[in-house]
Structure 1
Amino acid sequence: MESSKLNETLIEIKKGNDLERERLIRHYKPYIINVVGHICKRYVTWSSDETSIGLIAFNRAIDTFEYDKGRIFLNYAYLLVQRDLIDYFRKQKRHLYTISNDDHSEHDQAEMKASLESYQQSINTSALVEEILELDEKLSKFNISFEELESHSPKHRKTRIKVMEIASEFIKHHDLVDRLVEKNVFPVASFTKRTRHRPKSIERHRKYLITIIMIQLHPEWRQLSTFVQVGPGSVKI
């Protein structure tokens, strides 16, 4: 579905058009199943409990998505589905320890074990999902979406290291940081006048640079500090 058409549909749904909601869900039914299966790392059907959780999260994405903030709807929906499934696996883990193995068939035990393994794989990303949502909110003010960062990140390791050094140098200028945060515009002219960096270089890596600066300004985002790295594939989801 084209972005403009999708936005029009979301607006209609927010106005209370349930028919459009049903049509949208029917259209993205394969997407929802694929996302849930990818997160659970096993085959799921439309009647699976995990898929029901994914559907509820997808519905919430429809209700809460703000199309005018530069986000991509499907990526936003993915993050909500992932977060809800992580919560589900967490609850299943607690439930697993309250049930005796003798009370269940081997099939039930295998299902619970699979869910627990999925939980173990997913829990490490729980904090990361929250941090990505927070970062995405910050970046949207600069008309940057988290999903596009990989295509804008420097291809060479040496360049990525250089951009990170520039970001570290930038945050030492507190007045420029204030201007960046308040006006949501990178003060290229002011920064380059104080340093030996060329405006052309700054502008070439502007989106990646702003992202690194945002992460450095929020040390509480511990997962993102390793998520964005200088090695191969500097930004990955």
Structure 2
Amino acid sequence: MISFLLFGLYKFSSKATLEEKVKQIQMGDTELLSEVLEAYKPFVKKTASKVCRRYIYDSDDEYSVALIAFHDALMKYQSDKGASVISFSELVIKRRVIDYLRTHQKEKQEVLFEPGSESVDSAGYLENDQSMKAFASEQDAEARKEEIIKYSLVLKEYGLSFNELAVSSPKHKDARENAVFIAKLVSSNSEWFAELKKKKRLPIKQIEKEVDVSRKTIERNRKYIIAVAILINGHFPYLYEYVKEQLQ
């Protein structure tokens, strides 16, 4: 009974963070889900409008796509990945709307070139195709820029910067491979990664027991290991895609 009352007080507390509300939503609180979806409609519209470069209305298909994307983001959000609900949702919404626009444009082009069509506006097709490619390129560039900013802010929480990483990154291939291997271990171990997030330092004692690398070497590559572990486990798909070959 006490736990039920506490849950009730928590649920209707205006001080509950969005992350806390999402936990309750993922536990099956449909009423709270409806409240959050309603409260964050302006955020959903604003995010979709940025992608479409025009104001989005309730009747627009893009709004429906964006709202469904926000719902999916709430249900799939994981707090241990390093991103906030808003930043994660924004990324999901933008990607989903961009995918919709690309598909919608492709459908238009297929109709334009439908066999038996009496007239084909090839100039208009090429213009639309080029515009869509340019639009997609701009959106990808903007998403990468946002990821770089967010990643730099996360690194700052650990006392790190891009300049420091450039200086402290392992120069030899073997050392870099060992550091990446340790970073992958940290990112895949929920307890280790949780300790890293909480204390802002590597669980070196635990790592020593699992790898054939000296403590001195781990400490020397500490900054690089932390940066890679955060990159792997922190919802930075564009950045990860850029460096994934170096991390394999």
Shorter-chain TM band:
0.5 to 0.7
TM-score by length of 2: 0.57
Q: Please tell me whether residue 71 in structure 1 is matched to residue 83 in structure 2.
A: yes
**How far did residue 192 of structure 1 move?**
8.1
Q: After superposition, give the CA deviation of every residue in 1:189-235 in whole Å (9 maximum; x if it has no partner).
A: 6248769xxxxxx76x9865766899xxx99823899xxxxxxxxxx
Name 1:24's counterpart in structure 2: 36
Give the Cα separation in 2 of the matches to 1:194 and 1:69: 25
TM-superposition CA deviations, 1:86-120 (whole Å, max 9, x none): 211121121121234999xxxxx9xxx6x984664
2:104 is the alignment partner of 1:92? yes
Name the % identity: 17
SS of residue matched to 2:110: coil
Q: 1:122 aligns with which of 133, 136, 161?
A: 136
Could you tell me how far apart the structure 1 residues matched to 2:181 and 2:168 are? 17
More displaced, 8-17 or 165-174?
Answer: 165-174
Match of 2:241 among 221, 230, 237: 221
The one-letter code matched in structure 2 to 1:175 is N
Partner of 2:111: helix, strand, or coil?
A: coil
Match of 2:64?
52
1:190 to 216, 222, 238: 216
- CA distance in 2 between counterparts of 1:116 and 1:4 reads 46
8 Å Cα contact 1:168-1:213 kept in structure 2? no
Q: Is the 8 A contact 1:93 1:119 kept in 2?
A: no
Deviation, 1:170, is: 6.7
SS of structure 1 residue aligned to 2:17? helix
The separation in 2 between residues aligned to 1:76 and 1:175, in whole angstroms, is 30
Q: Distance in 1 between matches of 2:73 and 2:57?
A: 21
Tell me the matched-pair count.
190
Q: Name the Cα RMSD after superposition.
A: 4.7
In the aligned structure 2, how far is the partner of 1:37 from the partner of 1:54? 10
Could you say which residue in structure 2 is the equivalent of 1:106? Answer: none
Alpha-carbon separation, structure 2, partners of 1:100 and 1:90: 15
- The aligned runs of 1:126-165 (5 Å cut-off) are 147-150=150-153, 152=155, 160=162, 163-165=165-167
**Cα distance in 2 for residues equivalent to 1:58 and 1:164:** 36
Contact 2:66 2:97 (8 Å CA) reproduced = yes
Identify which of 159, 178, 182 aligns with 2:181.
Answer: 178
Distance change (3 Å), C-alpha of 1:171 and 1:186: farther
Mark the CA change 1:180 to 1:16 in structure 2 (over 3 Å): closer, same or farther. closer
| TM-aligned CA distance change 1:21 to 1:186, over 3 Å | same
Q: Deviations over 1:128-149 (max 9, x none)?
A: 96x99xxx9xxxxxxxx98252
SS of aligned partner of 1:99: helix
| Counterparts of 1:97 and 1:206, CA distance in 2 | 47
| Partner in structure 1 of residue 171 of structure 2 | 169
Find the partner of 1:37 among 43, 49, 58: 49
1:65–1:76 CA contact under 8 A, matched in 2: yes
Distance across 1 between alignment mates of 2:35 and 2:154: 32
Higher-Rg structure is: 2
Q: Alpha carbons of 1:95 and 1:213: their partners in 2 closer, same or farther (altered >3 Å)?
A: closer
Match of 2:22 in 1: 10
The 3 A distance-change label for structure 1 pair 36 and 182 is: same
Partners of 1:69 and 1:192 lie apart in 2 by 23
Unaligned runs of 5+ in 1: 104-108, 137-144, 154-158, 196-201, 226-237
